[in-house]
Amino acid sequence: MPRRAGSNEPRKTLLLTGASRGIGHATVKRFSAAGWRVITCSRHAFPEECPWGAGPEDHIQVDLADVDNTVEAIADVRERLEGGALHALVNNAGISRRAPTASA
């Protein structure tokens, strides 16, 4: 198992859905800074302009509202883990209603 840089501890792996923006994106940055490998998921491809070096090879493009696509993505996750453990799942993908609501 790969080790964390500067540490004897094995590097932990997080699977994070809804990683491309908002709370998910902030969570990627937080766990990456703490030395975790983060496998990210969202409907869009990894953006070319994103400076995160480990991003493209650990990003899975998936629409989690599509069952068949989700099953394919699960197989992809298993492959990427190469028999290693998944230590955490943050299932954050969803629809955020941030628009102001009409007052009653």
Ligand X SMILES: NC(=O)c1ccc[n+]([C@@H]2O[C@H](COP(=O)([O-])OP(=O)(O)OC[C@H]3O[C@@H](n4cnc5c(N)ncnc54)[C@H](OP(=O)(O)O)[C@@H]3O)[C@@H](O)[C@H]2O)c1
Interacting residues toward ligand X by CB under 6 A: 17-24, 41-44, 62-65, 92-96, 98
CB of 97 to ligand X, least distance (A): 7
Q: Which lies closer to ligand X via its Cβ, residue 1 or residue 26?
A: 26
CB under 8 Å to 104, separation ≥6 — which residues? none
CB under 8 Å to 25, separation ≥6 — which residues? 19
Q: Which lies closer to ligand X via its Cβ, residue 3 or residue 44?
A: 44
Q: Which lies closer to ligand X via its Cβ, residue 3 or residue 29?
A: 29
Give me 96's structure tokens: 């955020």
Q: Which lies closer to ligand X via its Cβ, residue 11 or residue 43?
A: 43
CB 3 within 8 A of CB 50: no
CB of 50 to ligand X, least distance (A): 12
Taking the C-alpha atoms of 32, 21, 88 and 38 in order, what is their torsion angle to the nearest 10 degrees?
A: -40
CB of 18 to ligand X, least distance (A): 3
Give me 11's structure tokens: 């590097």
CB of 24 to ligand X, least distance (A): 5
